[in-house]
A = this chain, B = another copy of it.
Amino acid sequence: MIQKLISKIQQTKAPIVVGLDPMLKYIPEHIQKKAFDEYGETLEGAAEAVWQFNKAIVDATCDLIPAVKPQIAMYEQFGIEGMKAYERTVSYCQEKGLVVIGDIKRGDIGSTSEAYAIGHLGKVQVGSKTYSGFHEDFATINPYMGSDSVLPFVKVCKEEKKGLFILVKTSNPSSGELQDKLVDGRPVYELMGEYVAKWGEEHMGDQYSYIGAVVGATYPEMGKVLRKVMPKSYILVPGYGAQGGKGKDLVHFFNEDGLGAIVNSSRGIIAAYQQEAYAKFGAENFAEASRQAVLDMVADINGALEAAK
């Protein structure tokens, strides 16, 4: 799957991922109204609005992008109906040829981590049959509990040729409360980067490992260090756009081969129509606004990469 991700990035010339994090406040009134008219102001209605919103954005952008990253929390908040919309979104994006990174940030120990891995990336055995619950292609995971937590995911990824992005340095302001603390003279994020590099050796693709890392665009200097600590790990970079990261901040997340990083934008793309720059599209044409925002983001990043050559 890492090979598929890389070849899709090369084919689209777009090292980006669209974050499908559909809060209701991002969803245009007319989509919400139609869903509520059909299903009432219910969890089912909310899930229908989420699904119709996602579908329109995926349809409008899927030829331009290699991957999407649905944030499961935004679905989970609507309970079972939300989880159905999540699974439906994963399936639809895969039908459209997109790589799906489930932003699930799970992590537990031993057989419990294995259960998460099976549910999201693998197959669960039921009697003589097997089933794939949520069947994403990659998942984000949280490494606080150590190898016992991560290796069951790696095991399932090896069986399924799927991959991970492990939280290393997250994009939020308070990430430093733990991640920047010095341990044996280097920050926790570097220690975790070293672990990611080591775990990554367990499951290599041709050039890059199936085991990548999450490093926020809001910390470009740390990205520069981590790029060297984990040379064969793909870096998933959140924090572009709405959180403040810009194209020029991203240059050092990439390797000299022009690969090695994939930059996420969520509300910057899916709620583009609510921003001044794209207001001219109007709420009716929200999906076209998203398409334009994708084109602009790709130009920003590729421009910065060109300028840095």
Contact = CB atoms under 8 A, between A and B. Distances in A.
Interface of A: 21, 23-24, 32, 36, 41-43, 45-46, 71, 73-74, 76-80, 82-84, 87, 103, 105-113, 115-116, 118-120, 124-129, 131-134, 142-149, 167, 170-179, 181-184, 188, 191-192, 195
A37 to B, nearest CB: 11
A170 to B, nearest CB: 5
Contact of A76 (B107, B109, B133): B133
Contacts of A79: 87, 119, 124, 131-134
Contacts of A171: 109
B170 A126 contact: no
A42 B133 CA distance: 11
Contact of A174 (B41, B77, B133, B145): B145
A134 B176 CA distance: 31
B178 A181 contact: no
A78 B119 contact: yes
A127 B45 contact: yes
Contact of A148 (B36, B80, B174): B174
A309 B46 CA distance: 55
